[in-house]
Amino acid sequence: MVRLRIALAIAGLMGLAACQPNDTASPPTHSAFARGTHGSFNPAPGGAPGDWTSQARDYANSRYSPLNQINTSNVGRLRAAWTFSDGALYGHEGAPLVSGNTMYTVSPFPNRAFALDLTKPGAPIKWVYDPAPSPMAIGKACCDPVLRGWAVGDGKLVYNLLDAHVVAVDLKSGKELWRTKMADVSRGTTMTMAAFIVGNKVFVGNSGGEMGVAGWFAALDLGTGKELWRAYATGSDKDVKIGPRFKPLYPQYAGKDLGLKTWPPGMAQHGAGSSWGFVSYDPELNLVYYGTSNPGPRVPSQRPGDNLWTSAVFARDADTGEAVWAYQFTPHDQWDYDGVNEMMLLDLPINGKLRHTLVHFDRNTYAYVLDRATGEVLKADTFAPQNWSTGFDWKTKRPIINPAKIPKVGEEVKNICPPDIGQKDWEPPSYSPRTGLIYAGIFNICMDLTNHKVSYIAGTPYDGMEMYRHSVDGKGGDWGALIAWDPVAGKRAWSIPEKFMVMSGTIATAGDLVFYGTTDGWFKAVDARNGKLLWRQKLSSGVIGQPITYLGPDGRQYVAVASGVGGAAMVQSALPGFPARGSTLYVFSVDGLDVNGGKPTARRGGP
């Protein structure tokens, strides 16, 4: 397959402030590729420039839009064109999708889907689909009954239900086409991740790492909903789908049945490793990439060993599910750091050579750059404050653990940085080939941690961690920031401090803009080259979702984002100024003009 590339931009990054955290040294960068040298990515599967039909817009997880009608010269004129409420007062973490003249959005529990007609002022509802999932799922969801996204393909809207089903809905009529049960919610398995479509396959994974579930990742037939294959994160090589194609690049991954042998006897079957983050795909290699969650229970002294393959990334053959390689970000994860955060597929000049890479901002605070064909670790730099590790061991390719920050049963260990939710949680960053920078919302928080032993009982928490989170300085300082990260140099180019955690996704555009939201309810646009604030709007609730931009049927560019605080952002709920929950989708345009030049309109779709 011919690799489609976004052309390398020429514009330099001179004058950007080098605001850096305490970075861990990486292998030296060749002088031929100076700081700010640009990379590229494969924009497949393409599609109309004005559409946005998957959560990241492309297989590479770039979240980059080629639209530039809205740019640095006119973004200050953005006004609300219309709004829509789905009526669900849980965390709104997904991005609305646009295909043709229709917008598709899905609420958190009860997971109602709405099709909105973009050809008419105010985008009236075309249809509503109510799947009526089991209310039992609310009590099984660890961290709010959220949904992180949905996908459009082959005339279908496909998404996960909290009660561990996957549904496909006809785009034109809203009629259910198929519904597949993936697990028994009564035993603790829920599904909150965004379904991911490649060709005739839908890829999904489970949630429930705090409930002692067996983590898995599966492929379904897009036409029928039939399960094609399922691979587990723990267990025998057969369960994990490790066979002759698996290439263990590092010694710790060589051997048989490591998904059993790196666990105490009998514990792997409840070892978690669930997959609730975003998926990416390389069409040349035909590999899908995804991360696995924390091991279970979260009390490390009860499960000595590396606990493979939790807190890791897998590269799998999209057709067969066979594992081709894997890498564990946090061996024997003792802090609930997971490995589920997004994998961005970027082509970058590393050490004087163009490499086809996978870039991953882990909750453990290392920004990893791996070779996406082999899993070779090319870079590992810290992007925010951390003290659980004293550095990265380039011989073993593992972080070096700080013994002072190891959890102990019955004892409080203070000031572990980052906390369990990391210095970046699931919220996805974006990449601009025009600047060569990645734009990520991050945290500046730590935790005081106490462990207690737990026993496994199906459908109940298999946890054992008690955390008190606080600002890094312990004095109520800023809890978050937006950073622009140079993945070649492994350093920040600039950053914007925020009082609250930045838990929204970001998007970058060809108009040299970056859009993001804050958990206290500000939606902002900044200059992608220097971080200058160009526009902001206070919304009715906090922003933890993912913005998009699209062309309406009138040819006008719009920007959309959901407000509705919830999820892990609730760890800040006691802070002054934290907003109420909400359920409103906002759509902005220059001067607030709606289709046919209409004035701003509000719609409500929930009860």
Cβ atoms within 10 Å of 241's Cβ, excluding its own = 20
Distance between CA atoms of 534 and 145, rounded to whole angstroms? 34
Give the residues across from 11 on adjacent strands.
none
CA 441 to chain CA mean position, Å: 11
Buried b (16+ CB within 10 A) or exposed e, 579-593: bebbbbbbbbbbebb
Query: Is residue 351 annotated as a catalytic residue, yes or no?
Result: no
SS3 219: strand
- The encoded tokens of residue 4 equal 């489609």
Out of 58, 93, 210, 282, the active site residue is 210
Give the residues across from 522 on adjacent strands.
538
Note if the bond before 49 is cis, omega within 30 degrees: no
Query: Residue 274, class by beta-carbon neighbours within 10 Å (0-12 exposed, 13-18 middle, 19+ buried)?
Result: buried
The answer to whether 106 and 159 are in contact (CB under 8 A) is yes
Query: Is residue 210 annotated as a catalytic residue, yes or no?
Result: yes
Query: Residue 46, class by beta-carbon neighbours within 10 Å (0-12 exposed, 13-18 middle, 19+ buried)?
Result: exposed
List of residues 6+ apart from 56 with CB closer than 8 A: 62, 63, 278, 280, 342, 428
DSSP state of 540: S
Identity of the residue numbered 46: G
Out of 294, 307, 341, 451, the active site residue is 294
List of residues 6+ apart from 403 with CB closer than 8 A: none
CA 423 to chain CA mean position, Å: 13
Out of 86, 144, 322, 336, the active site residue is 336
SS3 122: coil
List of residues 6+ apart from 64 with CB closer than 8 A: 6, 41, 43, 57, 58, 430, 431, 432, 433, 507, 508, 509, 510
Query: Is residue 336 annotated as a catalytic residue, yes or no?
Result: yes
Terminal alpha carbon distance of the chain: 48
Closest CA to 282 of 64, 59, 61: 59
Distance between CA atoms of 184 and 566, rounded to whole angstroms? 25
Dihedral sign of CA atoms 412, 413, 417, 419 in order: negative
Q: Which residue has the tokens 């991050």?
A: 442
Active site residues: 210, 294, 336
